[in-house]
Amino acid sequence: MAQPFPDQARAVIIGGGVMGCSVAYHLAKLGLRDVVLLEQGRLSCGTTWHAAGLVGQLRAHLNMTKLVQYSAELYAKLESETGQATGWKQCGSVLVARTPERVTLFKRIASAAKAQGVACEMISIEEAAKRYPIMRTDDLLGALWLPLDAKVNPADVTQALAKGARINGARIFEQTRVTAIHRKNGTVMGVGTSKGDIKAEIVVNCAGQWAKQVGRMCGVTVPLHSAEHMYIVTGKIEGVHPDLPVLRDPDGYIYVKEEVGGLLMGGFEPEAKPWAMDGIPEGFEFGMLPDDWDQFSILMENALVRLPALEKADIKTFMNGPESFTPDNNFIMGEAPELKNFFVGAGFNSIGIASGGGAGKALAEWIVAGEPTLDLWPVDIRRFARFFDNDAYLHDRVKEVLGLHYKMPWPNRELTSVRPFRRSPLYERLAGKHALFGSKMGWERPNFFAPSATEVTIDYSFGRQNWFPFVAAEHKATRDGVTIFDLTSFSKFLMQGRDAESVLQRLCANNVAVPVGNTVYTGLLNERGTFESDLTVARIGEDRFLLISGTAQATRDADWIRRNMHDAHAFLTDVTSAYAVIAVMGPRSRELLAQLTRAPLDNKTFPFGAVREIGVGFATVYAARRTYVGELGWELYVPTEFAAGVYDALMQAGEKLGVRDAGYYAIDSLRLEKGYRAWGRELTPDYTPYEAGLGFAVDLDKGDFIGRAALIVAKDKPLQRRMLSFVATSPDTPLAHGGELILRKGKPTGEITSASYGHTVGGIVALGYVATGGDKVDAAFLEGPFELDVAGERVPVRASLKAPYDPANSRVKA
């Protein structure tokens, strides 16, 4: 008997692909009653049905790896739980390298894999040939073996998840299209469908490549765009059997999997083909796109090099199906900042089958707990902002994104499409001075300044890149003289109102009830006592605060703060675009600024941490005495239209002091020498301030704040993990870039979160968390000995709780 169509549900999930079914399965498993899934066609009919079914475990970020590891565990047991087969087969995968750089990358991957707990090893070419006998190997330089990688049948996995969801009480309606999202006062109220309205407390948008359209029904930004993704399937080939591992040849852009005695071969070509510029056609169900052998030719040519047997094989199927891609090649998860109780899980960039099990669990937990239960920042919907929802931008960006899967992931790789995008008022000036710009949150930010126009380039490698000496000079000028940084991309908010102080006191772990004219560095914590963000609060009036945080945090911070303001008389305004930020840093910064202002800059009148409204040249700016580079310095918050004037005045006045521009690569090197932590690297929802070594920025005595109860408990317990600084100064050490395995007494103990070359300490300088096993982190513990595994090479490092560069703070505090 057909089940009656509900008019009410606790949670409505839109979309019956692998993600929607995984969310339904996990919500039902978590005990959420009244879960309803709506699918406009039939289950798996969107992108899921035609996926190749590869489940590759290793990802760039530890928690993303954990999601796939969980998917693997789940898919392996779903058949016994539900009776529905999934085609699960743990066949392992072989990755091959055609270039020396790719071999180095593999070595780095093997090191990161150890840190992430993934089985992975470098193997010889002979060993690779044994595992994949039909492959040509004479042009190969190295290979990697991941024994736990697997393959599944995606449509069957989806049916098994759906069955498991139904067993646990969820209801699934196919042929039911969601046509509207109902909302009231910023909260979702339910959905309108082709079969009638359903009132719901929670709505989850798992509509795959349609998720952007579904988001637009209710003003929610889901920045993704469809692109064509293709593979072929051959008839039977001699020597191909079901136990053959998956083969990946990233230098040739291809992946290969056994399929019914033949081969399924697809890949990620360097320039993709966006699809559905005018929207996805009505009724696109189990849809395929026309064969495009021109687009596929680069994959075919490479496959013929690797697998000569393909030459004579029958091509049974040319599969061209659309998949959605996002601006940064990471998927999109979480509660929409624009609409309460409206969640998104979409934009899987061709890894939705591998990630679907874990991502569905993580999103279900987020829905039930009201916040993510682990650090999901790389895929958090709040890493985007409204301006990413531009179709022309998305169209041009996805052309580049699909190919990133197999493009060399250089440590400081920059994407090149749709650039320049967001520009500071100083952009043209800095470009004229040979700035090489990087991109963050859409902003163009100077990474370094080259001595000539022809050197404004990055020659990517794992070793010292072309800009090494340029950054060394910027670093030295900051330590010894004075430099100017364009930090305009900082996120900035005004918090105003008579309850502004009390709202901030509840949000901040540090005491921000300071007199007007002071700044306070603080974490914003969740109830678990771990970081939701970190920022600087500048009190610029009795009921007026300027909040300053990192470039990437704008949407996230606004969301977190607004969620926790409740009915207070306080108003948050994003003023990021209203102010440029020009930082004047270095021991001679006072001398420089003094030429342009009548305001006293001495330590007594303008101490460290103070913020004052002062004149600089003809402009009136907020000047905050802060530093992220470990030197005397001021950050100037300049109304945008005055920025160029202030910059010119500083440059002119600083000429005789040898002032020069400096960029973000120098900042990384300078801040790591000073042990300064960065949001998203060292500070994440996985760590407390105590673990991060930021206990000094917590005031447990100031009254209640979010996370206080958890910190009181944590404070009395031995730390299990602790952030340490690391330095390696022997002359031949390879460079570290983050993600390296940390060893103590020869045993794996953690992972590097940030690394650079410290030009003052003269070697690797890095931060990373280590497992303490509950031991006190004292001198004996720090003795280690510690090492880093850099691409398979053991590099001895010195560990310390304190900053590696600390000139007794004399210049900073003096």
Ligand X SMILES: Cc1cc2nc3c(=O)[nH]c(=O)nc-3n(C[C@H](O)[C@H](O)[C@H](O)COP(=O)(O)OP(=O)(O)OC[C@H]3O[C@@H](n4cnc5c(N)ncnc54)[C@H](O)[C@@H]3O)c2cc1C
Smallest gap from residue 228 Cβ to ligand X (A): 8
CA proximity to 507, closest of 490, 485, 528, 522? 522
Smallest gap from residue 640 Cβ to ligand X (A): 39
Residues in the chain: 814
For position 348 contacting ligand X by CB under 6 A, the verdict is yes
In the list 143, 207, 537, 601, the residue contacting ligand X (rule: CB under 6 A) is 207
Q: Select from 11-19, 267-275, 449-457, 657-665 the region that touches ligand X (CB under 6 A).
A: 11-19
Alpha helices by DSSP H, 320-467: 352-369, 391-401, 427-432
Neighbouring-strand partners of residue 318? 232
Give the DSSP letter of residue 147.
T
For position 258 contacting ligand X by CB under 6 A, the verdict is no
Read off φ and ψ for residue 125, nearest 5 degrees: -60, -40
Give whichever of 72 and 570 is closer to ligand X, judged by the CB atom.
Answer: 72
Task: Fill in the per-residue mask, 288 to 327: x = in contact with ligand X (CB under 6 A), - = not in contact.
Answer: -------------------------------x-x-x----
Smallest gap from residue 55 Cβ to ligand X (A): 7
Question: Is residue 647 helix, strand or coil?
Answer: helix
Smallest gap from residue 58 Cβ to ligand X (A): 13
Smallest gap from residue 635 Cβ to ligand X (A): 42
Neighbouring-strand partners of residue 638? 580
| Interaction residues for ligand X, span 588-617 (CB under 6 A) | none
Ramachandran class of 194: left when φ > 0, alpha when ψ lies in -120 to 50, beta otherwise: alpha
Give whichever of 274 and 734 is closer to ligand X, judged by the CB atom.
Answer: 274
**Which amino acid is present at 382?**
R
| Interaction residues for ligand X, span 17-76 (CB under 6 A) | 17-20, 38-41, 45-48, 50-54
Give whichever of 207 and 698 is closer to ligand X, judged by the CB atom.
Answer: 207
Angle at 33 between CA 31 and CA 35, to 5 degrees: 110
Q: Select from 205-213, 591-599, 688-696, 712-720 the region that touches ligand X (CB under 6 A).
A: 205-213
Q: Select from 16-24, 107-115, 218-226, 426-434 the region that touches ligand X (CB under 6 A).
A: 16-24
Q: Specify whether the CB–CB gap between 180 and 162 falls below 8 A.
A: no
- Rg of the chain, C-alpha, whole Å: 27
In the list 262, 274, 352, 446, the residue contacting ligand X (rule: CB under 6 A) is 352
Q: Select from 343-351, 486-494, 568-576, 643-651 the region that touches ligand X (CB under 6 A).
A: 343-351
| Interaction residues for ligand X, span 176-195 (CB under 6 A) | 177-178
Give whichever of 352 and 550 is closer to ligand X, judged by the CB atom.
Answer: 352
Question: Is residue 66 helix, strand or coil?
Answer: helix
Angle at 463 between CA 459 and CA 465, to 5 degrees: 30
For position 265 contacting ligand X by CB under 6 A, the verdict is no
CA proximity to 482, closest of 324, 573, 601? 601
Q: Select from 14-22, 131-139, 533-541, 735-743 the region that touches ligand X (CB under 6 A).
A: 14-22
| C-alpha span between 686 and 702 (Å, rounded) | 24
CA proximity to 721, closest of 755, 675, 671, 767? 767
Q: Specify whether the CB–CB gap between 669 and 468 falls below 8 A.
A: no
For position 214 contacting ligand X by CB under 6 A, the verdict is yes
Smallest gap from residue 283 Cβ to ligand X (A): 10
Smallest gap from residue 57 Cβ to ligand X (A): 11
Pairing of strands 443-449, 435-440: antiparallel
Tell the burial category of 487 from Cβ atoms under 10 Å away from its Cβ (0-12, 13-18, 19+): buried
Task: Fill in the per-residue mask, 551 to 580: x = in contact with ligand X (CB under 6 A), - = not in contact.
Answer: ------------------------------
Give whichever of 21 and 698 is closer to ligand X, judged by the CB atom.
Answer: 21
For position 769 contacting ligand X by CB under 6 A, the verdict is no
Give whichever of 154 and 804 is closer to ligand X, judged by the CB atom.
Answer: 154
For position 210 contacting ligand X by CB under 6 A, the verdict is yes
Torsion angle of the four alpha carbons 497, 499, 502, 508, in this order, in degrees rounded to the nearest 10: -40
| C-alpha span between 372 and 376 (Å, rounded) | 7
For position 229 contacting ligand X by CB under 6 A, the verdict is yes
Residue with tokens 């306080």: 570
Angle at 809 between CA 804 and CA 812, to 5 degrees: 115
Residues near ligand X (CB under 6 A): 14-20, 38-41, 45-48, 50-54, 177-178, 206-210, 214, 229, 231, 319, 321, 323, 346, 348, 350-354
